[in-house]
Structures are given as structure tokens and as C-alpha cells.
Structure 1
Amino acid sequence: MEKLLLNKIEVAERQLETAVELFFDEKDCISIHNLASSSYQIIHDILRDKEVESLKEYNFKNNDMGFKEFKDFNKEVSQVWNFLKHANENPSDTLEFEPHVNDFLMRTAIHDLYILNNKISDVMSLFVAYFKFVYGDDNGGMVDITDIKLIDFNKRQLAIKKGKENIYDRKKIA
């Protein structure tokens, strides 16, 4: 196999694309989270280097989520990602993980990738449609990505099915 020469944006795109594909294939939520977190961090760092406001920074400044919600979300994402990366301090620790956090993490990463690149892949566009279906149209500071291409009928059906299941689950929990 040939060596790959990749820049940071390409790495982030590949990680995020894989996370979204694993999500639609209903694969392991922890692997999805790890890939999405890594991608998100790279994208966030590049935006900061370019002095472009990320969605995280926008929400912090504009308090769209409410400060407590925003802080809780960031804390949960950071705790999970650090748990997945490190075992040097507390190797016997356990983790309680809520898979729905992945939805918001991937949507935020997709948004910021779009801000960075002015394009996203078809499967990422499909995820945006899924996200809107499940969580509504309120963008909460997100750029409205209108060029959604619904590809592969089976994946679209799965997105709709997952959306209905998630809506049902949220009502049951509430």
C-alpha cells in the first residue's frame, strides 16, 4: 500500500465521514464518538487558527443553548473523549455514555467543516437532514445547509427510521 499524504482537513473529513457512515450502519456508538470527537477537535483548531468563529464559540457568545446546557454538553463530550484516549490516571474507571450526544457532536462538526470548506459530503448532507427530522428546524446558530442530496434510498429510509425511534425514545425518557 502506498503512503498517504494528508493535510489536517482531509483527516478530519475522513474521520467525520466514517463516523456518519458508522452511525447510519448502526455500528458502535463509542467508535463513532471517538472519530467524531477527533474530527471536531481538528476542525475547531483550524477555525481558531484562521480566526473564524466555530459553532461552539458562537453558542458561547450568544448563549443560544443556555449557559448551563452549553457547559454540560461540552463537559460530557470532553469527559467521554478523554476517557476513550487515556488510561494513565484511573485505568479501572468506568463510563456512563449517552449515545444521543453523538448526534449533536456530528452535527456541530459538520457545520464547522462546512464553514471551513464551504462543502460537505453527500452522507454528511444526509445526516443534516436526519438531524433536522429528529430535532427540528431550529438551527441554533448553525448555517442552514440547503444543498441536501438525499442519496441511497435505503440509507434515507434508515435515517427516517432512526429518527422515529429517537423521537420515541426521547418521549419515553421525558
Structure 2
Amino acid sequence: MVGEYMRKICVTKLKAAATQLSVAIAMFFSEDDPISAYALSCNSGEIFRKLCGHKEKDYFLSVVEDQFHRKSDLYKTYNSTWNFLKHADKDPDSIIEFSEEQLVYSLWIATHDLYQIIDNLAHFPAAMTYYHWYIQSCPEFAPEKCELPEANALFRRADQDSGGIRYKDDKTKRAYGLDMLNRAASGLRILP
């Protein structure tokens, strides 16, 4: 009787990863369970990275691979927290310290790689929202840090559109992101 009402869903790897990323983004903006959001973000990021490879597109971490003696060292470092969340065979009693910054960056990497695969985030409102929110809210994209005139102009525009959200506290930044996400989910423009 249980299986009688259970749905069967056919899904592509791209769709599965995009759905996981969308849920992780919504959880992040809602300040809901950062550990689960991080795991979903890493799951999607892994799929997007592999899909980038199959399409011969640059994925985010490929930029830093050359800085490591062995590629596996990069992924061991990058995936250490995610692996902690997936495995308990060798270290069942271990503890790890988790920073929500890891979630912010894993969401950015996954969103970036999705963008590399599809070239347009319009069909993925949560990813499009996160992409714009990240550029608008992260201090490393501040106009005063940009030497290239084009980048400086882009980030000044982002500051103007967002009311300078990058200079606000994290709670305000997330509330702004959640508002953007809600507008995107309603089919409204997320940017002015």
C-alpha cells in the first residue's frame, strides 16, 4: 500500500543538481540548517564540476588546480568537510568545526559552474538570485578593490542596485537575498 501513492520521477543529472542547489540557496537565505545546505551545495557542485568537464568548460576550481602539487590535494582540502558529513567508517567520534563561510563559497562555486554549463541562469531563479546576490554582497567585489575600469563600473552598478548591501551585516545581507529569491520565485525582476 505504501508504494501505491509514491511518485516516480525521471530526472537528469543537471536537473537533480540544480534542484539541490536551489534548496541549498533557499536554506541559506532563510538561515535554515547550514550543515544540510552545505551538503546539498557540495552534492550539486560535484555534479556541475563533472558536467563542466564533459562539456570542456572551465569549472571554478580548475583555476586553482595548478597551484597544488597534486590535483587530489586540492580536492582533499576542498572536500574535507563534505567528506566528514558523508562518512563515519574511520572516525566515528570525530568533531569538525564548520563555518558558514564554507557554505557561502560552496554555493558560489556551484552557481558559477552551473552558469558555465548553461550560459544563462534565467531558467534557474535561485541560482540567478544567488549569483547576483553574491556579486552585490561580497566585500571582495567592492569597486575600490577593482583595478580594471570595466569591473569597477560593474561593481559600482551592483552597489547602486543593492543600496550598498556589501557594507551591511550578514543578517541584512541574507534578508536582502531572501527578498530577491522571493521576487524571483514570483516571476518578478530581482534587480532594479
Give yes or no for TM over 0.5: yes
Aligned 8 A contact 1:19 1:35 in 2: yes
Distance 1:134 1:53 in 2: 22
Aligned pairs for 1:97-136 within 5 A: 97-120=98-121, 121-132=124-135, 133-136=137-140
**What residue ranges of structure 1 are gaps of 5+ in the alignment?**
147-155, 169-174
**What residue ranges of structure 2 are gaps of 5+ in the alignment?**
1-5, 155-161, 173-192
Distance 2:90 2:119 in 1: 40
* 1:77 matched to 2:82: no
Aligned pairs for 1:82-93 within 5 A: 82-93=83-94
Distance 1:74 1:24 in 2: 27
The alpha-carbon distance between structure 1 residues 73 and 137, as it changes in their structure 2 partners (threshold 3 A), is farther
The alpha-carbon distance between structure 1 residues 76 and 97, as it changes in their structure 2 partners (threshold 3 A), is farther
The alpha-carbon distance between structure 1 residues 27 and 72, as it changes in their structure 2 partners (threshold 3 A), is farther
Aligned to 1:33: 38
**Post-superposition offset of 1:167:** 9.7
Amino acid at match of 1:53: D
Runs of 4+ displaced beyond 4 Å: 71-76
Aligned to 2:47: 42
**TM-score w.r.t. structure 2 length?**
0.64
**Post-superposition offset of 1:73:** 7.9
Amino acid at match of 1:109: A
Distance 1:102 1:77 in 2: 12
Map Cα deviations across residues 103-138 of structure 1 (whole Å, 9 max, x no partner): 111111101101101222222222223212223437
Amino acid at match of 1:8: K
RMSD: 3.2
Higher radius of gyration, 1 or 2: 2
Map Cα deviations across residues 38-80 of structure 1 (whole Å, 9 max, x no partner): 000011011112222211102334x6xxx6xxx9985553111
Distance 2:38 2:139 in 1: 19
Q: Please identify which structure carries the higher helix content.
A: 2
Amino acid at match of 1:52: K
* 1:55 matched to 2:49: no
Amino acid at match of 2:168: K
